[in-house]
Structures are given as C-alpha cells and as structure tokens.
C-alpha cells in the first residue's frame, strides 16, 4: 500500500504553496488547463454535463481555465465546442461559474477563433473558413460526421480582421455577464491568433504580415480590446512557442515569441501561459525533453507565468523550484482524475486516461472517472 505524505511534507512543496493570479489569491499552483472536450448538444450552449465536469474538478482556492470557447459563428473548428457569442451561451456558462464559485474556485474562460482549422460544414451558410493567408495545410477538424480534413480557407480582408477583433471584445463582455473571474486569449495551437503570428501560415504583405511587428499586430489588438473590458489583471494570454500542432511553423520562433512576450508586458496581464514545444496537441512528443520555452520567456515577461505541456508531479515541482514558472497547468491527467489536486498533494497514483473518449460523446470518459479510494489491507 502506498504511503501518503504528511500534511507537513505536502506543505513543503512549492506546488502547494499560495500564489496570486491577478487579484486572486490561490491556495495552490495546480492549474486545470483548458481542455477541448466538445460536450455541448444544442446551439453550443454549456449544459448539465459540463456543469458536473467542472464542479468535480474545482477546489477551494484552485484555478481553472475553461475550455477553448468560440467567439463568433465563423470561429468553429470542433463540432460540440461551446460558444460565447449569444446570451443563451453566456447563461449556460453562468451555471458553470456559479458551481465552481460555490466550491471556492477561480475560473477564467479561454476565448478562441479556430481560423483556417475549420470546415464548410461548421461555417455559417457553408462558407469557407478564414485565415490570414491561403496556405495548404494538413489540419483535421471535427464535424457532425466525425473527424475530417479541414477545408482550405480564404484570406481575410482588412475590414474582416477588424470585425473579428471586435468579436473578441464582445465575447469578453459576455464572459463577464457569465460570471467568469477573467478571460484567457488562446494564441497557440495553430488557431487564428497563432496563424497571424507565425510566417508559415501568414504570408500577407499588408500591415498584418511580413515583419514580426506586423504579424504580432492582430494578437496585440485583440489583447488591447479584451483588456479594455476586463482590465489587464483579469486577462491571461496563452502562447505555444515553436509549437507544430495545426501544421504550424515559423522561420525564427525565438525572435517572434520573444517579441510577443515583451510587447505583452505593457498590458499588466494576470499571466502568460506557455505551452512547451515538447507537446503536440494532447500527445507528448518524446520522453525526457526538458521544458525550454518557459525558461527563455521568463527572462522577458515580467509577470506571472504558467507552464503547460506534459508535466507530472516531479517536473512540475522542479520548474517552480527553479523559478521558471509560477504555476503549472495539467491537462490529460485532469481528464481522468477529478481529484487530481488531492492525488498530487499526497503523491497518490494517477488514474489512466482513455484517449478514445477525449473528444465528443457523453458522460463516458468525461464525468465517470473515479476519485481515489483508500485500499484497506488486513
């Protein structure tokens, strides 16, 4: 039988020491990462399944980033993902935030637009997906008939870019109505913000393309508009330096993401959330790879930093001890361990996840994972 660590031993771990995120005082540094699970049923409105899912994983003084949530009808890339562009969607999310707050948790909403990672079956009136440029790619998206290759997108016009920036602002306003404590902008994983950042997907020649300063313009305009709604201390940004998910690549990722992190300093953000390049989607690329992006950007970004991507208890503690991150986000193991915080605190075994039930479906692989039960031996 595995021996639990004592309260004093658990308390000595920096992973379980207090920390502030924006104005919020947390009791530990274990973050529930934003997890795309695609469990809405009607009109992309959060439902009973989702309320139960988040409440299972909420902890007193713990921090949750709710899953990537679509900010406009053109932003869909995954059938069943929730939205935040209608009052009904905001009301659905209000039930989630109320339930998390009742358990003493803090919850932000992650805002995203899938950009070119979409399909005509997911677009209004069967239109083409949109992106910064028309570039062949190998993305796959989830439609009503299952996983399929994304439809080649069309390039956005300048006026349309401005309209999407405004869509992010409107979504931020609805997130406030829904009772969230703040919002996180999804600028990683090959979605629209990332598509503008990286020159593998952005081949524009206007003010949104070309040099790094131009390619970062969309990111910074969106952040500026979200901060105008929430204030910087209630806004986070997620980036994926050197990430390849979504057919992404850049000719000089170090220069690009260094510039982006430096520019984000001026907003006084709650945090910068970094996905380490050792992760691709929900897969760890290779065992033994060290987290490198957080260590680099820590020297540039002046605020709180969250690291994500393939962490387990030991290396989560190590990155915080080194000072390369202040909090660590867990994804796959939060899927299969609703009591992950307890298990990590007490060094208990983790329940294995079922990758086949990650995306879409019902309560199976979503709300039916067990909490840890003590095994009493004679």
| CA distances for 113 relative to 51, 59, 116, 135, angstroms | 23, 29, 9, 18
Considering the candidates 63, 191, 351, 353, report the single residue annotated as catalytic. Answer: 191
**pLDDT value for 243:** 79
| CA distances for 123 relative to 119, 148, 166, 247, angstroms | 7, 14, 19, 21
**pLDDT value for 3:** 35
Average pLDDT score over residue span 76-84: 97
Checking if the pLDDT of 10 tops 80, the result is no
Model confidence over 103-119: pLDDT tens digits? 999 999 999 999 999 99
Average pLDDT score over residue span 61-88: 98
Higher pLDDT, 286 or 253: 253
**pLDDT value for 6:** 44
**pLDDT value for 2:** 36
Domains of the chain as residue ranges with CATH: 7-357 (3.20.20.70)
Checking if the pLDDT of 281 tops 60, the result is no
**pLDDT value for 292:** 76
| CA distances for 321 relative to 271, 316, 325, angstroms | 18, 9, 8
310: region left, alpha or beta (phi > 0 left; psi from -120 to 50 alpha): left
Average pLDDT score over residue span 209-216: 98
Share of the chain above pLDDT 90, in %: 88
Per DSSP bridges, beta strands 130-131 and 154-155 are: parallel
pLDDT-derived band at 242 (thresholds 50, 70, 90) equals confident
**pLDDT value for 240:** 93
Per DSSP bridges, beta strands 130-131 and 106-112 are: unpaired
Share of the chain above pLDDT 70, in %: 92
Checking if the pLDDT of 280 tops 80, the result is no
**pLDDT value for 141:** 94
**pLDDT value for 377:** 41
| CA distances for 266 relative to 8, 142, 223, 227, 263, angstroms | 39, 37, 11, 11, 6
d(C-alpha 281, C-alpha 205), whole Å? 30
Per DSSP bridges, beta strands 327-330 and 19-21 are: unpaired
d(C-alpha 64, C-alpha 134), whole Å? 35
Nearest to 342 by CA among 113, 79, 49, 62: 62
d(C-alpha 340, C-alpha 371), whole Å? 9
Of the chain, the end-to-end C-alpha distance in Å amounts to: 11
**pLDDT value for 288:** 52
**pLDDT value for 54:** 98
Model confidence over 312-358: pLDDT tens digits? 999 999 999 999 999 999 999 999 999 999 999 999 999 999 999 99
Checking if the pLDDT of 4 tops 70, the result is no
**pLDDT value for 289:** 57
Model confidence over 37-71: pLDDT tens digits? 999 999 999 999 999 999 999 999 999 999 999 99
| 333 catalytic per annotation | no
Average pLDDT score over residue span 177-182: 98
**pLDDT value for 96:** 98
CB 185 within 8 A of CB 168: yes
**pLDDT value for 378:** 38
CB-based contacts of 321: which residues, under 8 Å, 6+ apart? 14
What is the average pLDDT score of the chain? Answer: 92
pLDDT-derived band at 287 (thresholds 50, 70, 90) equals low
């Amino acid at each position: 039988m595995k021996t639990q660590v004592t309260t004093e031993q658990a308390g000595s771990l920096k992973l379980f020491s207090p920390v502030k995120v924006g104005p919020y005082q947390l009791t530990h540094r274990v973050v529930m990462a934003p997890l795309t699970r695609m469990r809405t049923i009607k009109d992309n409105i959060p439902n009973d399944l989702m309320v139960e899912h988040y409440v299972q994983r909420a902890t007193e003084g713990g921090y949750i980033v709710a899953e990537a949530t679509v900010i406009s009808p053109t932003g869909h890339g995954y059938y069943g993902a929730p939205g935040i562009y209608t009052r009904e969607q905001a009301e659905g999310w209000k039930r989630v935030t109320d339930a998390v707050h009742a358990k003493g948790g803090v919850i932000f909403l992650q805002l995203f637009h899938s950009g070119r990672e979409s399909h005509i079956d997911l677009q209004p009136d069967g239109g083409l997906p949109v992106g910064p440029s028309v570039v062949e790619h190998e993305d796959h998206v989830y439609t009503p008939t299952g996983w399929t290759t994304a439809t080649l997108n069309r390039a956005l016009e300048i006026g349309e870019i401005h309209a999407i920036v405004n869509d992010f602002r409107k979504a931020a306003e609805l997130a406030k109505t829904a009772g969230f404590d703040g919002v996180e902008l999804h600028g990683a994983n090959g979605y629209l913000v990332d598509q503008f950042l990286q020159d593998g997907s952005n081949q524009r020649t206007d003010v949104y393309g070309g040099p790094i300063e131009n390619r970062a313009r969309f990111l910074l305009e969106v952040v500026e508009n979200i901060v105008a709604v929430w204030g910087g201390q209630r806004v986070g940004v997620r980036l994926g330096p050197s990430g390849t998910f979504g057919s992404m690549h850049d000719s000089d990722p170090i220069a690009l993401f260094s510039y982006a992190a430096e520019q984000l300093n001026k907003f006084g953000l709650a945090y910068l959330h970094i996905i380490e390049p050792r992760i691709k989607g929900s897969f760890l690329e290779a065992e033994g790879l060290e987290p490198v992006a957080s260590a680099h950007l820590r020297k540039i970004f002046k605020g709180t930093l969250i690291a994500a991507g393939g962490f387990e208890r030991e290396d989560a503690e190590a990155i915080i001890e080194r000072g390369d991150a202040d909090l660590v986000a867990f994804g796959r193991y939060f899927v299969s361990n609703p009591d992950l915080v307890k298990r990590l605190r007490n060094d208990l075994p983790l329940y294995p996840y079922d990758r086949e039930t990650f995306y879409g479906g019902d309560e199976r692989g979503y709300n039916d994972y067990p909490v840890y039960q003590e095994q009493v031996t004679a």
